[in-house]
């Protein structure tokens, strides 16, 4: 949420979508472009907070991101380290750390992307 608030303070926006807070704009496009493990992504989920470059990206990616919200609810504080561990192992064995990550695979499979 701190990164989302930084986005707000730098000219971004905020909206509530059900039980989710969605932040966009301001500093967030830069954050999403360079932050490790999500670099280049138009959106990223952290618990019940979704950060996006703009409202259009949030709308387009919402179904996928809501799967990640459910994963956070299931895994709790273990989600991020487990996601990163999967990312690292996949990278070490020459696979695609993002697309082959089981957390991403679940989100893609359940949303038909």
- Which residues 6+ apart lie within 8 Å of 106 measured at CB? 67, 71
Question: What is the reported pLDDT for 112?
Answer: 85
Assess contact for 20 and 40: CB atoms under 8 A: no
Question: What is the reported pLDDT for 85?
Answer: 97
Question: What is the reported pLDDT for 90?
Answer: 98
Mean per-residue pLDDT, 51-72: 96
Average pLDDT over the chain, rounded to an integer: 95
Question: What is the reported pLDDT for 39?
Answer: 87
Mean per-residue pLDDT, 64-89: 96
Its pTM stands at: 0.91
- Which residues 6+ apart lie within 8 Å of 95 measured at CB? none
User: Which tens digit of pLDDT belongs to each residue from 11-55?
Assistant: 999 999 889 999 999 999 999 999 988 888 999 999 999 999 999
């Amino acid at each position: 949420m701190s990164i989302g608030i930084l986005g707000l303070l730098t000219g971004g926006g905020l909206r509530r979508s059900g039980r989710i807070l969605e932040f966009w704009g301001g500093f967030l496009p830069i954050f999403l472009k360079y932050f490790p493990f999500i670099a280049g992504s138009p959106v990223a989920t952290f618990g019940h907070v979704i950060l996006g470059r703009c409202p259009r990206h949030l709308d387009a990616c919402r179904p996928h991101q809501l799967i990640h919200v459910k994963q956070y609810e299931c895994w709790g504080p273990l989600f991020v380290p487990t996601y990163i561990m999967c990312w690292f192992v996949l990278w070490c064995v020459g696979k695609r750390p993002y697309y082959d990550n089981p957390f991403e695979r679940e989100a893609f499979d359940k949303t038909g992307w």
